[in-house]
Structure 1
Amino acid sequence: MAELGEVVSVGVAWQKSAACNGFEDCVEVARLANGNVGFRNSRLPDGPMVEFTGAELSAFVEGVVKGEFDWMTI
């Protein structure tokens, strides 16, 4: 995982799930200028962001698809 840091995210297009239905308690994601993916809390748009490489994100998504993280939604 890339470090939590001062990555400039100005001008990137943040996206959240349609399941948020306008609520502010959502995770937002964006493709960053360096090709990595940033995640942030929608309630804190000027707050910290966590950055992942494409390979890290792919490994996580694969685990989600396989049901490895289903316990998180219970």
Structure 2
Amino acid sequence: MISKLINEFETLGLYFGLAALFFFIGMAIQDVLKKGNVPFFGRAVVWLVLFLGCSGFIAKGLIQVFWQGAGVS
């Protein structure tokens, strides 16, 4: 029972930690883009790449959850 609870806390801590990391990376990128006077197209490319990285991580997590629920792996 305790080991299951610890595993759940570790999983939640990992997910919240990664979410906070992505948030702070986004804030740092926004600050650098503002201070560097980057044109709109450059900002759009930077945010697109950041979004695709985050969405790939989220998609991986969802696929993993669905596969484990179906008993595939």
Establish whether TM, by shorter chain, passes 0.5.
no
Q: Which structure has greater helix proportion?
A: 2
Q: TM-score scaled by structure 2? A: 0.28
Q: Which has the higher strand share?
A: 1
Larger gyration radius, structure 1 or structure 2: 2
